[in-house]
Every structure is written in C-alpha cells, then in structure tokens.
Chain A
Amino acid sequence: MTNLLRRVFSFYIDGFRNMTVGKRLWIIIFIKLFIMFAIFKVFFFHDFLKTRFHNDHQRSEYVLEQLTKTPNHKN
C-alpha cells in the first residue's frame, strides 16, 4: 500500500517536473485562482442572503417578502 502511494506520488512529481508549456499554464492557473478567490470572492462577491441573515428561516421570510410585495415597477 505504502509502495503504491509512493509510486503515485512520484508519478505526479515527475510529471510536474518534466512539464514544459505546462509550467507556464500552472502559473496562469494559480494567478487566476488567486484573483478569483482572494480578490473577487473576498471583496466583491459576498453571498447576499448568507451575510445578511443568521438562519434559513430568516432567509425564507425575506425572500417571501420580496416575492409577495405588490408589483409596482414599470413592467
């Protein structure tokens, strides 16, 4: 079992070491994921209902209130 895990580990390590264009691609992937999760998600994309309400009951109440307000927009 340990031997198998070691072989799988070295399979991945060798693969990453021998990459050519792949290295540049991994850099792009990491930069992209950083921008998405550490900047976009943290600073701009808070979950509207999760951050404003403590539990699902409150969230349901809020959405029901939104859904049943008298339609008075210009539609």
Chain B
Amino acid sequence: MEILNTALVDWSRAQFALTAMFHWLFVPLTLGTSFIIAIMETIYVKTGKDIWKRITKFWMTLFAINFAIGVATGIILEFEFGTNWSNYSWFVGDIFGAPLAVEGIMAFFMEATFFAVMFFGWNKVSKKFHLISTWMVAIGSNLSALWILVANAWMQNPVGMQFNPVTARNEMVNFWEVLFSPTAINKFLHTVTSSYVLSAIFVLGVSAWFLLKKRNIALAKRSMVVSSTFGLVMIIVTIFNGDESAREVYRTQPMKFASLEGLYYGAKAAPLITFGIFDTHRPTMENQEPKVFTNKFEVPKLLSLMATLNPNSYIPGINDYIKGNEHYGIVSYFDRIKMGKKAIGALKEYQQERGKNDSIANTALTTFHKNYKYFGYGYFNDPYNLIPNVPLVFYSFHTMVGLGFWFLILFIFGLTYALKDKIQTKRWFLYAALWTIPLAWLASEAGWIVNEMGRQPWVIQDLMPTTTAISNINTTSVMITFFLFAVTFTILLIAEIRIMLNQIKQLKDGGN
C-alpha cells in the first residue's frame, strides 16, 4: 500500500464519525418512540378513552418531527463509502449490497404506505386498521435497522463469505450465516433495546417537564406510566444482552475486549474495573509493565466471570495478543504480521502468474488461502500500532455502562412513584428525569464509540485496516465536506430541537 497522507485518513475518519454520530441522534428516537406510540394507541383502542388518543397523537407529532429531520441523513454515509472508502466498498462486494437493498425496499414500502395511514388515517380508516399501521411502522423501522446492523456486524466479524482473488471482492456464500451470526444478533438486540431505553427516557423527561410546569397533568402522568414500564423492561433486557455482547466481543474481537477494560496484562480471576483513571504518564508497553491507572475501584473475579462464566479463568491482556501466549493458544501479532505479509505477497504472485504459469499461480493461491485469516495484519510492521485508543474505549464503555445503571434506577423510581400516584410531588425525580434526556444520547453515542473505536485499526476485522480502505483523493475536498456537513447537520439539529420545543410548549391543556 502506498504512503497515504495521514491527514487524508484522519479527515475521512473524522467525517465518517461526524455524519454517523449526527445520524445516530435521530435514529434511536425513531426506533423506540414508534413502539411507545403503538403501545399508547393500543391502550386507546382497548379502553376507548379519548385521552389516550390525544396522548398518542402528541407523541406521534414529536415522532414525525424527529423522523422528518433525520430521514436520509444516513444516505450521506453511503456517499462517503463510494468516494472516500472505495477500496473498502469494492472489497466488501455484495455483502453490503444485499442487506442494504432489502433495507431500501422495505423502508420505502413501509414508509409510503403505513406511515401515511398512521398520520393521515385518523377518522378515515377503522381504529383497528390504524392501529395495525402504527405497529407496522414500528416493526418496519426496526427491521430497517436490522439490515444496517447486520452489515456492521459483518465488519466486526466477517463470516459467510469467500474472497475472490480475481475480482478482489468478498462474495457471500451463506446469507443465513451473515444474518444469524452471533455478532449480528447481539448487535441488533443491544442496539434496538438501548434505543427503546433512550426513547423511554425522552418521553419520561418531557412528561416530567409538563409536571414541573403543572400543565397537561393527565397526559404527562399516563405517559410516564407507559415510558417507565417500557423503559424498565428494556433496560433490564439491554443489561442482559449487553452482558452477552461482551462475551461475543471477547470471542471475536479480544483486543477490543481487553481495551474496554484497560487490561494490558492478562490475569487469572481477573477483576472488573468499575471506575478507573488512566495514568497519563504511563510508559510505553515495549519498555516495561506500565502502571495503567492512577486510581481505580475493582470487583474481584468479575471480568473473568463476565467473559467466560468462570470466575477463576485467565483473561488475556493486550500484551498477550502482541507477544502471543502459547499456553492459551494465542498467536502473537508479530506472527500474524508475518502471515499477513505472506498472504499479500501470495495474492500479488497469483495475479502475476495467473494465465502464464498455472503451477506457480496455484501454489500462490494455496499460500494465500492458508494465510488469508490474517491478511490485514500484513499492512503493518509494528504490532503496537494494532492497539486501539485504550483510554477512549475504556472511558466510553464505562460511561455507557454507568449511565445504563442510572437509567435502571430512574425507571424503578419512575414506575414506583407513577403507580402510587406520587410522581407529581417528587420534584427531585422530575428534574432528574428531565436532565437525563441528554444523558440517554450520551450513553448511546458512547456505545458506538466503543464499537467503532474499539475495533481500530480495522475497518473489517483482521482483513482490512482503515489505512488500506481509503481512496486516494484530495484531502482538501474531504475537509471542505467535513465542515459543510458540520454546518448542515447543526442547522438540522437546531431546527429539530426548536420545532420540538415549540410543539411541546404549545400543547394546550386537555381533558382527563
């Protein structure tokens, strides 16, 4: 791979991160609010009480604002694939094409039909048909997310494909293996359930604001019962599937797992660090065993238990992966780099000899396939460059987990107070619920930082590093579009917040 401008790689990564994180401001609210609305409308159809129709319509309006502002922000990511990440786009072949095509068709039909009935169909179609449409919008939105997350999961754990050395593309050989890989299942479940939690916090927080202002009491109290119940169930599910996701990361991306716990050196009965501050002056790993944390609080044996369900098991650290650990069957990054270089060399030789000398070409192809598992490592010379930004991953992970447990406490209080009809008098809780709204987004974005920064330097785990995935384009053009996106998305975000706040403030007191 030729020397690419480091600035180009960094700006392209920054641009992708910017657009993905802006896109993700809108998506989780759509995923979760759609179900909350469907639940509210179900109660309306079951009870026949008009207050529930009013509640459903109010949250539906906020849902529509978020949907309208957020729709198509994800398309920018597809533009970037073709322009900035052309080697990557070509290399992934049809693996991305199939899920994204299904997503596109599904999203179009769901949105064009059921979405319209949901918004335009009040008093024009039967109550039951309207309710079915609302549920279909919720299911359809979440199925759309499934295909995107399957594609992302494949990048974390590439399965069900075979690399074609003639076309330089990965070809899907087993669609079901791609769709039902444990990584894809865990990723989908953890992402959507955490999005439901975010939406429940949004509904809870806005309702808390109404109670603080002593407006729309009936609407707010009922909304709080629904959001607290939904949120409590979903945060419990999120904690459990997050635990399973961690085990999956340990199996398929062990360097990411070690990074999210700041585990530089492996240990038996490894403790889980619940709180820690990195020593900024720590020496480099090549020299000596560093002091990793200046302050920390740890729970003995919990990391071993979490990763392997055995509290006394050995959990390898970053050093074990770099230097290898024969006892635990870990191939060192030094050896992986050698095998990766063999794979790259063999692919080159295959290209040169194909059609000229079949014997040499076939031998090269055999060598290539034998070492393809570590193909991406061949682009590196120094194994220490294969370590992600450990402090960033560690802090993001602990922020996400810590906030997750705060949300659990919030929902328990919310549901208890709401059921006892004391919620209006608990002002500390109302303020806490209101100020937790931005924290929900912080936790969600932190989760994506763990996911994407934790797997660096890979764009496709073990096969393609970020530096190889990039197109050789002009850095200035990437910089210009970075700032254009920053301005455009900021305007969109301000528009969303302003329109939403207006809708919330303008809601007139209604019936009981």
The answer to whether B467 and A68 have CB atoms under 8 Å apart is no
B379: contacting residue among A22, A45, A63, A71, CB under 8 A: A71
The answer to whether A63 and B344 have CB atoms under 8 Å apart is no
- State the CA gap A32–B70 with chains docked (Å): 10
The answer to whether B116 and A12 have CB atoms under 8 Å apart is yes
The answer to whether A75 and B116 have CB atoms under 8 Å apart is no
The answer to whether B82 and A47 have CB atoms under 8 Å apart is yes
Known: A21-B499, A67-B468. A75 touches B380 (CB 8 A): yes
B94 at the interface (CB under 8 A from A): no
Query: Which of B33-41, B42-50, B71-79, B395-403 participates in binding chain A?
Result: B71-79
The answer to whether A63 and B87 have CB atoms under 8 Å apart is yes
Chain A residues whose C-beta falls within 8 Å of the C-beta of B82 in the assembled complex = 45-50
The answer to whether B1 and A45 have CB atoms under 8 Å apart is no
Task: Considering the complex, give the chain A residue whose CB is closest to the CB of B348.
Answer: A68
B465 at the interface (CB under 8 A from A): yes
Which of the four size classes fits the interface of chain B? 35 or more
Task: Considering the complex, give the chain B residue whose CB is closest to the CB of A72.
Answer: B3
B471 at the interface (CB under 8 A from A): yes
Chain A residues whose C-beta falls within 8 Å of the C-beta of B69 in the assembled complex = 25, 28, 32
The answer to whether A59 and B465 have CB atoms under 8 Å apart is no
The answer to whether B168 and A64 have CB atoms under 8 Å apart is yes
Chain B residues whose C-beta falls within 8 Å of the C-beta of A16 in the assembled complex = 120
A29 CB to closest chain B CB (Å) equals 5
The answer to whether B72 and A48 have CB atoms under 8 Å apart is no
Chain A residues whose C-beta falls within 8 Å of the C-beta of B351 in the assembled complex = 64, 68
A54 at the interface (CB under 8 A from B): no
B497 at the interface (CB under 8 A from A): no
Known: A12-B120, A48-B82, A63-B90. A21 touches B65 (CB 8 A): yes
Chain B residues whose C-beta falls within 8 Å of the C-beta of A75 in the assembled complex = 379-382, 385, 457, 465, 467
The answer to whether B120 and A15 have CB atoms under 8 Å apart is yes
Known: A21-B503, A63-B90, A75-B465. A48 touches B4 (CB 8 A): no
A2 at the interface (CB under 8 A from B): no
A6 at the interface (CB under 8 A from B): no
Task: Considering the complex, give the chain A residue whose CB is closest to the CB of B345.
Answer: A68
The answer to whether A67 and B79 have CB atoms under 8 Å apart is no
Known: A47-B82, A48-B86, A67-B468. A11 touches B61 (CB 8 A): no
Chain B residues whose C-beta falls within 8 Å of the C-beta of A22 in the assembled complex = 64, 68, 119
Chain B residues whose C-beta falls within 8 Å of the C-beta of A74 in the assembled complex = 3
The answer to whether B168 and A63 have CB atoms under 8 Å apart is yes
Which of the four size classes fits the interface of chain A? 35 or more
Chain B residues whose C-beta falls within 8 Å of the C-beta of A46 in the assembled complex = 82-83
- State the CA gap A50–B76 with chains docked (Å): 17
Chain B residues whose C-beta falls within 8 Å of the C-beta of A32 in the assembled complex = 69, 72, 488, 492
Known: A32-B492, A36-B72. A44 touches B481 (CB 8 A): yes
- State the CA gap A33–B344 with chains docked (Å): 42
- State the CA gap A21–B501 with chains docked (Å): 12
- State the CA gap A17–B345 with chains docked (Å): 64
B378 at the interface (CB under 8 A from A): yes
Known: A11-B116, A44-B480, A49-B90. A73 touches B65 (CB 8 A): no
B177 at the interface (CB under 8 A from A): no
The answer to whether A33 and B72 have CB atoms under 8 Å apart is yes
Known: A48-B473, A50-B82. A26 touches B68 (CB 8 A): yes
The answer to whether B484 and A71 have CB atoms under 8 Å apart is no
- State the CA gap A75–B378 with chains docked (Å): 10
The answer to whether B344 and A71 have CB atoms under 8 Å apart is yes
A13-68 with Cβ < 8 A to chain B: 14-16, 18, 21-22, 24-26, 28-29, 32-33, 35-36, 40-41, 44-50, 56, 59-60, 63-64, 66-68
9 tightest A-B contacts by CB? A15-B120, A48-B86, A68-B348, A25-B68, A45-B79, A47-B82, A48-B471, A63-B168, A75-B380
Give 7 new A-B contacts, CB below 8 A, not counting A60-B90, A63-B91.
A18-B120, A29-B71, A32-B492, A44-B83, A45-B79, A48-B84, A68-B351
- B residues contacting A by CB (< 8 A) are 1-4, 61, 64-65, 68-69, 71-72, 75-76, 79-80, 82-84, 86-87, 89-91, 116, 119-121, 124, 166-169, 341, 344-345, 347-348, 351, 378-382, 385, 457, 465, 467-468, 471, 473, 477, 480-481, 484, 488, 492, 495, 499, 503
